[in-house]
Amino acid sequence: MSFPIQRPRRLRRTETLRSMVRETSLTPNDFVLPLFVMTGKQQRHPVPSMPGVFQLSVDEVVKDAKLAFAHAVPSVILFGLPEHKDALGSSGWDAHGPVALAVRALKDALPELCVMTDVCMCEYTDHGHCGKLVQSRGQTVVDNDATLELLAREALCHAEAGADVVAPSDMMDGRVAKLRKALDEAGHSEVALLSYAAKYASGFYAPFREAAGSTPQAGDRRSYQMDPGNAREALREVRLDVAEGADMIMVKPALSYLDIITRVRSEVDVPVAAYNVSGEYAMVKAAGANGWIDEQRVMLEILLSIKRAGADIILTYHALEAARALGA
């Protein structure tokens, strides 16, 4: 018996056919928009390495969130730019700091918006590291257990302001269990935890560090962020965080770690987020500005690849422009 020659191209002939059989599709509901919030009013400072991204005062954060929400982007994540920095990052749990103020303003203006907050010390410490520094074996290192106490204070501050989701990005061991316990004991059991479970020590973060003012003053973060060569370790980190109570987990960066997203997606049954980080965004913007690529097409292709790899949620600076491109 002979069989007809298979011709997959038949289903690619028209856009209608292509859309009917498309396995993975993007919608604005997939996106979370990162926003950098500072003190003051009517402040909108451009980030040179991230065209279209700004450091925003609380009133401007509300404006941008409203615009994104109007285009069906359901969530934002806030990063704080404090007026004061110290060795412990005490501005991170300031109830009158920019993040807490922005959370309250956003929940007043847009009750249905899902407001996430980044929980880490690097934006608030004068040394730029993600926790308390101590001397150990002749080296300056981040004290893991002492940092957990600081992270818990920050998470509680955000929860009390009204955050829907707190997202620890510090990569300290045991932080998910510590934050879950602190939130529950303070009456915030409804606040969800999105853990940066597999966060790699990446060169793609440089524009973010300019935007957030979080570049380490000495050394780097390789002793607590993951080595880019490791994949099995990512699964171990993810399993630990889920066991400690993470409601969602994240892989960061996204584009160079699509294989990790796929492996993590097959490992856990909680939602998987991926962070399309600042360096990935900046490269698209630079190449687009030089006319080297079709910027919108490449942007959507990258975001689609992240979702196809297995991400349920994509944190991306492209969120608003992608939503517009998708017709929302």
pLDDT in tens, 255-297: 999 999 999 999 999 999 999 999 999 999 999 999 999 999 9
Average pLDDT (33-51) is 96
Domains of the chain by residue range = 26-325
CATH class of residue range 26-325? alpha beta
Considering the chain, what is the average pLDDT of its residues? 94
Q: Which of 85, 132, 252, 307 is catalytic?
A: 252
Question: For the purposes of burial, counting CB atoms within 10 Å of the CB of 147, is it exposed (0-12), middle (13-18) or buried (19 or more)?
Answer: buried
Asked about 252 being catalytic, the answer comes back as yes
Interacting residues of 71 by C-beta distance below 8 A, sequence separation 6+:
28, 320, 323, 324, 328
Rounded to an integer, what distance in angstroms lies between the CA atom of residue 127 and that of residue 134? 12
Q: What share of the chain is helix, strand, coil (3-state, %, to 5)?
A: 45, 20, 35
Which amino acid belongs to residue 253?
P
Q: CA 268: distance to chain centroid?
A: 19
pLDDT in tens, 184-239: 999 999 999 999 999 999 999 999 888 877 777 776 777 788 999 999 999 999 99
Asked about 285 being catalytic, the answer comes back as no
DSSP letter, residue 190: T
Least confidently predicted of 26-40, 76-90, 295-309: 76-90
Phi, psi at 252, each rounded to 5°: -145, 130
Q: Which helix (H) or strand (E) holds 80?
A: strand 75-81
Rounded to an integer, what distance in angstroms lies between the CA atom of residue 253 and that of residue 205? 8
pLDDT in tens, 107-118: 999 999 999 999
pTM of the model: 0.94
Which amino acid belongs to residue 211?
A
Q: Which of 132, 199, 285, 307 is catalytic?
A: 199
* Tokens coding 214: 């979080």
Local structure of 54: helix, strand or coil: strand
- Given a contact cutoff of 8 angstroms between Cβ atoms, the answer to whether 151 and 119 are in contact is yes
